[in-house]
Amino acid sequence: MSVSTAQVDNGVNVQALIDARAALTDAPAAAQFSWRANCTWKKGTHSHSTVKSFFGLGEEQKHKTTFSFDADHPEVFASEDYGATPVEFVLVALGSCLTAGIAAIAQHRGIQLRSVSATVEGAMDLAGILGIDSDVRNGFSGIKVTYKIDADATPDEIKALVAQSQKRSAVYDIITNPTNVTVEIK
């Protein structure tokens, strides 16, 4: 890399992350986090979700504000389109997680980013969710992420940023590996 870390500012406080890693290595209980979202049905396929509190570092935590999300189905599904579809939220999650990772890793490696944007596309055969064909899965048959990155780095360094981001991404892991899901009724 030709750029010294002192001049690079992608807005990520890498030192804080490094300190957190060191602190949590010796305090595994503090590293146990629990993230939450609350979802309320509105009408039809429209629901409204909020994200406010989470658990971590041994106690309840709160975001600065309550974040708010409307989800719905589009008109081609005979719905009202009050919000993005749930599967589009998953694509947003993946794009956000990988992009945040790219920024953090670039900061850590002393690479100045100028612009980063991604298109995230998930292919889906509706025969799955519509119960038409039991050999077709409900979810995506595949997801493709295409990044456009302008940075002070060689093409290989940029590829390495994107590869490392996937390696350490929570959402990438959630999507590419199985996760236990338990649904209860109170």
* Closest distance of CB 76 from other proteins, Å: 26
Ramachandran region, residue 102 (left: φ > 0; alpha: ψ -120 to 50; beta: rest) = alpha
| 186/184 Cα distance (integer angstroms) | 6
- Complex with other proteins: residue 36 or 167, whichever CB lies closer: 167
By the rule CB under 8 A, 170 interacts with other proteins: no
Query: Is residue 142 at the binding interface for other proteins, with CB under 8 A as the rule?
Result: yes
Look at residue 65 and give its three-state secondary structure. strand
Nearest approach in angstroms of CB 74 to other proteins is 26
Rounded CA gap, 154 and 162, in Å? Answer: 13
Q: Is 178 in the site for other proteins (CB under 8 A)?
A: yes
Beta strands in the chain (DSSP E): 38-43, 46-56, 59-71, 113-123, 142-151
What are φ and ψ of residue 180, in 5° steps?
Answer: -70, 130
Q: Total number of residues binding other proteins (CB under 8 A)?
A: 14
Asked if residue 177 binds other proteins (CB under 8 A), the reply is: yes
Of residues 74 and 110, the one with the C-beta less far from other proteins: 110
Question: Based on C-alpha coordinates, what's the Rg of the chain?
Answer: 20
Smallest distance, other proteins to C-beta of residue 164, A? 7
Residues 149-168 interacting with other proteins (rule: CB under 8 A): 156, 159-160, 163-164, 166-167
**Does residue 5 interact with other proteins by CB under 8 A?**
no
Q: Which is nearer to other proteins, 51 or 174 (CB)?
A: 174
Q: How far is the CB of 178 from other proteins (least distance, A)?
A: 5
d(CA 50, CA 116): 28
- Number of H helices and E strands in the chain, helices first, is 4, 5
Site residues (vs other proteins, CB under 8 A)? 141-142, 156, 159-160, 163-164, 166-167, 172, 175-178
